[in-house]
Amino acid sequence: MNLSYTIRIALMVVVSLMGETERSSAWDDSWSPIRKVQVPYEAPPTNQDVPDVSIPPNKNPLSDEELKRAEALLPLLEGKQEFWAMGEFVHLGEPSVPVLVQALTMTSPRIRYNAIETLLMMRGVAGVPALVAAAKEPGELPRVREHALRVAVRLDSTKAPEAIEVMAQDPSPSVRKAAAFEARYVRQKTVIPFLIPMISDDERFVALSALQSLWILTRHETEFHDWDTSTKQDRAAWSSEWTEWWDANKEIFEIPEPPRPKRRL
């Protein structure tokens, strides 16, 4: 290949590249630059009174037909229709609680758990004694017992201390922790003697939950201790401070009012 041929090929490549550049420039020039434009704002229309078309929960005693319907819903608390079945119980209202609590003794843990959740949804206060019994049941699954206590406390905390007393001594640490944690929402001095021994629990997270509940309920300040890194022996020694305080004050102590949230300025 001679030199002149190579030069001609190089010139052809250069010309071709120049043509592509010109076409690219021409293409770019055909587009107008982007300009930001503010779209006029129109306020949304004011809310108009909308009629309430929801169906209120039933307050009347169940008829024979409704009673059979409620009983037929129990097996459906597990499976593809479980949320629909829970909604049906909510619609039937608190008169259906006697039927719903039957689910707490059925073999499926899913049914038992969903029955507890349904009682919470319908505000079924009449079912609290059954929830307390389920929370105290040693043969029940821990997660079901914990949920039963949680819902019982939220529906009627006055009936929860007996469940907390039993659960505070349970072999399962998760059950003991649930008792220690939920006790802070039971504003009764009867739960304090259950919490003080839990400060020296084998499991540190149980002990810390009990301690926090005691602080919330009593607002009693002890000497500073490093609870986060404490051992069981440390906590056993420190719990004696709480025991001494309680023995000296239990006759006159009253649960203080919960602190009110600060109003924002």
Query: Which structure tokens are listed for 210?
Result: 């009990």
pTM for the structure as a whole = 0.74
Q: What is the pLDDT of residue 48?
A: 63
Note the helical H segments in the chain: 3-29, 64-73, 82-92, 97-100, 109-121, 128-136, 142-155, 161-167, 173-182, 192-195, 204-218, 232-249
Q: Which residue has the tokens 């919330």?
A: 216
One digit per residue, pLDDT tens: the chain, 265 residues?
Answer: 555 656 666 656 555 655 555 555 544 555 566 666 666 767 766 666 656 556 677 778 888 898 999 999 999 999 999 999 999 999 998 999 999 999 999 999 999 999 999 999 999 999 999 999 999 999 999 999 999 999 999 999 999 999 999 999 999 999 999 999 999 999 899 999 999 999 888 888 998 999 999 989 988 877 777 777 777 788 888 788 888 888 888 888 887 777 666 666 4
Q: What is the pLDDT of residue 90?
A: 92
Distance CA 249, CA 63 (A): 53
Q: What is the pLDDT of residue 257?
A: 76
Q: What is the pLDDT of residue 26?
A: 47
Query: Which structure tokens are listed for 190?
Result: 């009867």
Using CA atoms, how far residue 184 sits from 138, 187, 204, 210, in Å, is 23, 7, 18, 9
Phi-psi region of 221 (alpha: psi -120 to 50; beta: other; left: phi over 0): beta
Q: What is the pLDDT of residue 33?
A: 65
Distance CA 144, CA 114 (A): 9
CA atoms within 13 A on the CB side of 248: 7
